[in-house]
Amino acid sequence: MCGVPPSRRQPSQQRSRDTVAAIVDAAVRVLTEQGYDQASTNRIAAAAGVSPGTLYGYFADKDDIVAAVIERVVDGFGEGIAPSLRAAAALPEDEATRMVLDAVLTEIETRAPLIEAFVDRVPAERYAPQLDQLRLRVSDITFQLLAARRPGVALADLERATWFATRTIEYLTVRYVVAAPPIPREAFLDELTSMVLGLSPATSAS
Amino acid sequence: MCGVPPSRRQPSQQRSRDTVAAIVDAAVRVLTEQGYDQASTNRIAAAAGVSPGTLYGYFADKDDIVAAVIERVVDGFGEGIAPSLRAAAALPEDEATRMVLDAVLTEIETRAPLIEAFVDRVPAERYAPQLDQLRLRVSDITFQLLAARRPGVALADLERATWFATRTIEYLTVRYVVAAPPIPREAFLDELTSMVLGLSPATSAS
DNA sequence: CGCTAAGCCGAGCGACCGCTCGCATTCAAC
DNA sequence: GTTGAATGCGAGCGGTCGCTCGGCTTAGCG
């Protein structure tokens, strides 16, 4: 009568919903502090103030918990940059680009500890599917924004520019935050903006 | 009487040198096929046709084996791009850049399976120190090449350009190889070259 | 209140891990 | 040959892991 069973039980009472939230919170904490290897299910359960059995009442296995953590991060990120994406279409290209990049960087900065923990303490295959889904969504939006400004440019060129733009932004922002190079935030955003603008296939400017 | 003991025994006979090589070979194979989690020391030993005890005769622990694998990759990579780096100083900037990027991409392509295995199946913290060392070396060289062409440019600007260039090249080449986007190799190199050239702090062209 | 089911506990299972150690084997030097 | 160091073996230790299951507790409802 309902969709696929999410994992095990469906939390129906308020009590159990709190429990699930406590587990995910604890998972974030343990993953951030100890990394993937050390984040045993028993440890997460203990950090949540819950028994291992309870944990497995709501999650199929360890990776299901990690997936829930990622989902929360991805959703938050998406919501965080949505406003700037909506505003982008109405602005000149350089201003729009700079604004979106600022939003992206901000969202990564606000999740720095967790993102850092994932980037260098969790094998990427554990979260690759969800990350690829996010990449796909971002690429779609980027492609649309790009195509709207460049009528008549070949599809392949737009796709190439989209790939370069999204990957460059993804990696450089994450790296800027976790590696903290001695570059002022404004200078970083300026350079990144000019990189992204520079790789667009040529057409008459907006 | 000698320096720090490298791990355990120093292989002195040919026999033991073969053994060490067999272990590292096996580690490459197992890591590539099974990933870090599944690459247990017993499994690596079995793949090398050697007993666990023998393995621990030459390596301090599991991560010491992984480190040996990385070292081999890093060394090979360094040797692979060295010729193009030596030739770079004597060429016009655009040609030099393009040539070096081609060499970098080639080296990554020839190690694609192992690099892919590391990128998404090994937690980065396991190889971060050695990777950072490589980054440092590459950054130094890049900085020198850049500075030679741009006398009088502020140090901070050169450092910023170096950081952007090295990180962009690192990530985009690796991603291009492991994610295999629908972009022809030549087009990829052209775009990457123009990105790198574009971000250099302005001065009179070479 | 009494009853049902949802929620929760926690000891502990079976598996596998990284790693050791006592002993057998092989080789180089004499 | 003989000998001692170098090399290799592999059963198995101590430990942790992911996960289960039988029974207790609590919430919701008539």
Confidence check: pLDDT of A69 > 80: yes
Evaluate if the CB of B203 falls below 7 Å from strand D: no
What per-residue confidence (pLDDT) applies to A14?
84
Distance A37 CA to C18 C1' (A): 14
Residues of B in contact with A121 (CB under 8 A): 123-125
HEC per residue, chain A: CCCCCCCCCCCCCHHHHHHHHHHHHHHHHHHHHHHHHHCCHHHHHHHCCCCHHHHHHHCCCHHHHHHHHHHHHHHHHHHHHHHHHHHHCCCCHHHHHHHHHHHHHHHHHHCHHHHHHHHHHCCHHHCHHHHHHHHHHHHHHHHHHHHHHCCCCCHHHHHHHHHHHHHHHHHHHHHHHHHCCCCCHHHHHHHHHHHHHHCCCCCCCC
What per-residue confidence (pLDDT) applies to B7?
62
Best interface-test mutation with B: which of A115, A168, A185 has the largest number of B CBs within 10 A? A168
Q: Average pLDDT, stretch A26-42?
A: 97
Confidence check: pLDDT of A96 > 60: yes
Q: Which nucleotide in the DNA or RNA is closest to residue B53, CA to C1'?
A: D9
Question: From CA B184, how far away is CA B118, in angstroms rounded?
Answer: 24
Contact A20, A11 (CB under 8 A): yes
What per-residue confidence (pLDDT) applies to B84?
97
Nearest CA in chain B to A35: B123
Contact B175, B108 (CB under 8 A): no
Instruction: Report the 10 Å Cβ neighbour count for A126.
Output: 20
Type of residue at B53? G
Type of residue at A141? I
Residues of B in contact with A124 (CB under 8 A): 119-121
Type of residue at B129? P
pTM higher than 0.85: yes
What per-residue confidence (pLDDT) applies to B132?
97
Instruction: Report the 10 Å Cβ neighbour count for A188.
Output: 20
Evaluate if the CB of B14 falls below 7 Å from strand D: no
What per-residue confidence (pLDDT) applies to B4?
42
What per-residue confidence (pLDDT) applies to B1?
36
Considering only CB atoms, A128 lies closest to which of B120, B163, B199, namely B120
Among residues A6, A62, A60, the alpha carbon closest in space to that of A31 is found at A62
Q: Average pLDDT, stretch A127-155?
A: 95
Contact A67, A130 (CB under 8 A): yes
Q: Which nucleotide in the DNA or RNA is closest to residue B55, CA to C1'?
A: D8
pLDDT band at A200 (very low <50, low <70, confident <90, very high): low
What per-residue confidence (pLDDT) applies to A205?
41
Instruction: Report the 10 Å Cβ neighbour count for A171.
Output: 17
Which A-chain residues 71-100 have CB contacts (< 8 A) with chain B?
A: none
Please report how many Cα atoms fall inside a 13 Å half-sphere around the Cα of residue A97, on the Cβ side.
22
Q: Which residues of chain B have pLDDT under 50?
A: 1-5, 204-206
Length of chain B: 206
What per-residue confidence (pLDDT) applies to B199?
83
Among residues B17, A35, B11, the alpha carbon closest in space to that of A43 is found at A35
In 3-state terms, what secondary structure has residue B185?
helix
pLDDT tens by residue, A44-61:
999 999 999 999 999 999
In 3-state terms, what secondary structure has residue B127?
coil
Q: Average pLDDT, stretch A131-147?
A: 96
Quote the radius of gyration of chain B (alpha carbons, Å): 20
